Structure 1
Amino acid sequence: MVWLSRKCEKCGKYTLKKEQCPYCGGKVRVPHPPKFSPDDKYLMYRMALKKGGQLSEGDVH
């Protein structure tokens, strides 16, 4: 699925521009959460990034 709208991380306004915010010049991102899947192969990696932790070699399957 293609997401057209973007949200500025700096001012919080929405735009269709993909490069930068036309209002303040800030970085834009897709405001929608990723699609949920109960058998997510990458859950461990996303949780480690969210917590700011690092994965050790024993964590990788």
Structure 2
Amino acid sequence: MAIDFDKHEWQQVVTAIMQICKSYAIPTALEERSCSGNSGHIWIFFSQVLYSNTQADCTEAI
């Protein structure tokens, strides 16, 4: 699952979310930053297939 961040303070938000995921042993990666440096994506990996509605629920919970 990928979560896109592109607001003014996206780096602080990404850092906080990755720390939360780490505290729950949820594997994450900051896959990329845009060329402009104004956005990024966190990838969250699951061992099972998740359907889109489950992914949306996970994103909201985080």
TM-score normalised over the length of structure 1 = 0.23
Bigger fraction of residues in strand: 2
Bigger fraction of residues in helix: 2
TM-score normalised over the length of structure 2 = 0.23
Instruction: For CA contacts below 8 A with separation 6 or more, give which structure has more relative contact order.
Output: 2
